[in-house]
Amino acid sequence: MDRSKGLFSRISQNYKSFSKGQKKIADFIENHYEQAVFMTASRLAESAGVSESTAVRFAVSLGYSGYPEFRRELEGMIMNRLNSVERMEVTYGNISESEILDKVMLSDVEKIRKTLEHCDREMFKTAVETILAAKRVYVIGIRSCAPLAAFLSFYLNQVLDDVRLVSTSNSSEIFEQMVRLTNEDVVIGISFPRYSMRTLKALEFANNRNARVIAITDSIHSPLNLYSSCNLIARSDMASIVDSLVAPLSLINALIVTLCMERKDHVVDTLLTMEKLWEEYQVYSKDDMDSINERLAIKEDVDE
């Protein structure tokens, strides 16, 4: 077997030569690799709608001695995560450009559906209670997760008194910003494959300080769960050119809305104060229609 080629690269390269049944297995693994890694040959075959012997032949056709070796390779790929080239291969290697729009958006819809379907309501409730009880809340997300962290911290600032978005320029700066962390604080860490080591180290630091840790991640097998007492799971798409973070954002939206409802009076007061400041300092520009109406009003005053 050519070990220089990744598993998904080999699947993509051999796809045209597969039998109809083998293509069904390849398609299932492409779309459900997180599930396939835990499946026996019979379970994978049943899920893909083929015979067990087809699943075994599929593994052998890729150069493996049998299904067990293929499964170990798949597990290793998933645990070590995919590089950017392999992500492109597995997601878009077998579809035409005209299909990409439908595939991407339908895939995002499916991830939200699965996130909602498997959401642990009690864990979500615990996260809300933990955040509301905290003295300070630190939010950390790195690289593609940085926008999620910024979005969450922006709205938490309208709900809570002390929210800190941890800057992630380098590891030492992260610890410097968290140096006063205590057991009265909460750290929310956001990371999806490929997992950020800096985020993981920050959560380890928080755990060592006895702070409460909430992880927003993709799986119960995520390394973030080693240090978190509360795990919010949202489906992401690690096998892609860009990270699909639609489902995590939707989960964060739900978290923010719930917190707002729990502290409704405080949020209303904050928003009223902010509205006055926005108007006083012209934070938001008026839309074109308002500008037109103002010009017409000025013209009428002049004419009179």
Q: Please check the confidence at residue 298 and state whether its pLDDT lies above 90.
A: no
**Which tens digits make up the pLDDT trace of 77-114?**
665 555 555 555 555 555 667 777 887 888 889 889 98
> Chain-wide mean pLDDT for the chain?
83
Asked whether the predicted pLDDT for residue 30 surpasses 70, the reply is yes
pLDDT of the residue at 1: 42
Bridge partners for 138 per DSSP: 164, 187
| CA atoms within a 13 Å half-sphere pointing along the CA-CB vector of 300 | 6
Query: For the whole model, what pTM was predicted?
Result: 0.67
Instruction: For 28, list phi and psi in degrees, rounded to 5.
Output: -65, -45
With a cut of 90, say whether residue 302 has pLDDT above it.
Answer: no
* Model confidence pLDDT, tens digit, residues 150-198: 999 999 998 999 999 998 777 678 889 999 999 999 999 999 877 888 9
- pLDDT band for position 259 (50/70/90)? very high
Structure-token pair, residue 44: 């994978």
Of the two residues 205 and 77, the one the predictor is more confident about is 205
> What is the per-residue pLDDT for 3?
41
Is residue 243 within 8 A of residue 144, CB to CB? The reply is yes
Domains and CATH numbers, the chain: 7-94 (1.10.10.10), 119-262 (3.40.50.10490), 268-303 (no CATH)
